Homo-oligomer: A and B are copies of this chain.
Amino acid sequence: MTYRQLIARFGTPAAALAAVPDLARRGGGKAPALRTTSDAEKEIARVEKLGAKWLMLGQGLYPRLLAELEDAPPLVTAKGDLGLLDRQAVAIVGARNASAAACRFARGLAHDLGQQDLVIVSGLARGIDSAAHDGALATGTIAVIAGGIDVFYPPENEGRQRALFERGLVLAEMPAGTEPRARHFPYRNRIIAGMTSGTVIVEAAPRSGSLITARLAAESGREVMAVPGSPLDPRAQGCNQLIRDGATLIQNAADVVEAIRPFASQVRSPASPFEPSVEQLNGDDALGEVERLLGPSPVPVDEIIRLSGAPSGAVQLALLELDLAGRLERHAGGKVSLVSQ
């Protein structure tokens, strides 16, 4: 989001990079270490040597729906059939320790949706994710992984990932060589939810990662769909709860197709991720006031704007300065808080 707001504010990466040290100092921190051109060129070369491509926010190959997220990743590495990005996609995710029946259901659902010309997106995890990729391997499937494009996780899925390099597509936000860590998985999940018209959750326990994907899909305005199960089966509780909370109950591919129909026309709509601000920087007027209004509890940016009485652009600039100074934390739902010192 910081990247996006910098570009929106300064128009070009070069202008943004030039402004960062000063903004950070105004926000009360020291200037962040910026990578050199030579670092960047090395990273570009490394990815290209792996046979992968760069997808850049705002450029042609970047997934259109993903570009709509306010926290869309600026850069994604991609290896495989980039043509899959042009088709409408649905995510199928679920428990790693899913029942055999649920895996069979996920594989069948992915297959049937593939027959309807839909691309299946998942996370290449054990269980439901693997079954979903397998079901759609012949028709088109995309894996979004939490680590670098060249890292195989879980290890037993190396063969599956290589098959997707050849016959599908693999996307990674983290730099090549990155081993996935726990905090990377929610970042990965936002890409799965963000690049698809909707997400189907198959067997998920309460408080599982699949439910994070469901929440992210809902926050992005995408369709949340869940496969029900017996209340006697603990693995069905997460999905049943989602349905109680308003997710569409899914019994078969036709139910999915019906649910995501409203999104069909949006896949190829032109994306305009950047709307450069025409407002002038108007000094540091708002910074002190914004800082005073912030605390350790997340509050909506809208509320800060309202309470400060300052123009929206001035508040956004102040938040950007605090952010670059390492003093701002951004939360889901457009909320922000001060980093506790």
Contacts and interface: CB of A to CB of B under 8 A. Distances in A.
A255 B244 contact: yes
A227 interface: yes
A231 B231 contact: no
Assembly of this chain: how many copies?
A: 2
Interface in A219-274: 227-232, 236-237, 240-241, 243-244, 248-252, 255
Most B CB contacts (10 A, CB to CB) among A228, A244, A250 go to A228
A251 B255 contact: no
Interface residues of A, number: 22
A248 B249 CA distance: 12
A250 B232 CA distance: 11
A231 B252 contact: yes
Contacts of A236: 228, 230
B227 A231 contact: yes
A202 to B, nearest CB: 10
Contacts of A237: 251
A252 B105 CA distance: 25
A34 interface: no
Nearest to A242: B249
Contacts of A228: 228-231, 236, 240, 243, 249
A278 interface: no
Contacts of A230: 101-102, 105, 227-230, 236
A248 B246 CA distance: 10
Contacts of A232: 101, 104-105
Contacts of A248: 244
What 5 A-B pairs have minimum CB-CB distances, sorted nearest first? A228-B228, A231-B251, A244-B249, A243-B249, A229-B230
Interface of A: 101-102, 104-105, 227-232, 236-237, 240-241, 243-244, 248-252, 255
30 contacts: A101-B230, A101-B232, A102-B230, A104-B232, A105-B230, A105-B231, A105-B232, A227-B230, A228-B228, A228-B229, A228-B230, A228-B231, A228-B236, A228-B240, A228-B243, A228-B249, A230-B230, A230-B236, A231-B250, A231-B251, A231-B252, A237-B251, A240-B249, A240-B251, A243-B243, A243-B249, A244-B248, A244-B249, A244-B251, A249-B249
